[in-house]
Amino acid sequence: PLQGSSKVHGAAIGEENVAKTRDFYHWPYQPFEIPKDVYDLFNDSHQAKDRYYKSWQESFQLYAEAFPRLAEQLENNDSTLNTDNLKLAENNDQELATRVSSSEVMQQIADQNRTFWGGSADLSSSTRPI
């Protein structure tokens, strides 16, 4: 009932909307009951992703041969973060949603690290990604 909007993210949809969603998808299973064909589909998907990853590795090797400096920068990206320069709100009386403060911190990190990125598809109205 809430498809096509981000209203479902970050809020309980309620029993009535759960029932409508189950009806819409013709889902007769109990909560947490997963049919075998779903597991089989997941396994097939996992195997396909392994093939895609191998293809990506081969493509990256070609990229590294064509652009060695840029490839080296990507490979040597240091994932440790220097938090000394982050401007954090300490002991602030202002109530700030976690998703908002997270967005602010992520933006500061991205300003210092070119290879840092984040996102959340259709959640942007509630999580405010960079």
My answer on whether 61 and 95 are in the same domain is no
My answer on whether 60 and 25 are in the same domain is no
Q: What's the CA gap between 68 and 130, in Å, rounded?
A: 29
Count of CB atoms within 10 A of residue 127's CB?
21
Report yes or no on whether pTM surpasses 0.85.
no
My answer on whether 88 and 128 are in the same domain is yes
Q: What per-residue confidence (pLDDT) applies to 124? A: 61
My answer on whether 99 and 129 are in the same domain is yes
My answer on whether 28 and 42 are in the same domain is no
Q: What's the CA gap between 66 and 73, in Å, rounded?
A: 14
Domain limits for position 63: 36-76
My answer on whether 28 and 40 are in the same domain is no
Q: What's the CA gap between 7 and 120, in Å, rounded?
A: 14
Q: What per-residue confidence (pLDDT) applies to 120? A: 66
pLDDT truncated to tens, each residue of the chain (130 aa)? Answer: 777 777 777 677 889 989 999 999 999 999 899 999 999 999 899 888 999 999 999 999 999 999 999 999 888 776 677 777 777 766 566 777 777 777 888 888 888 777 777 766 666 666 665 5
Count of CB atoms within 10 A of residue 57's CB?
9
**Count of structural domains within the chain:** 3
My answer on whether 86 and 123 are in the same domain is yes
My answer on whether 98 and 120 are in the same domain is yes
DSSP one-letter code for 30: P
Q: What per-residue confidence (pLDDT) applies to 27? A: 94
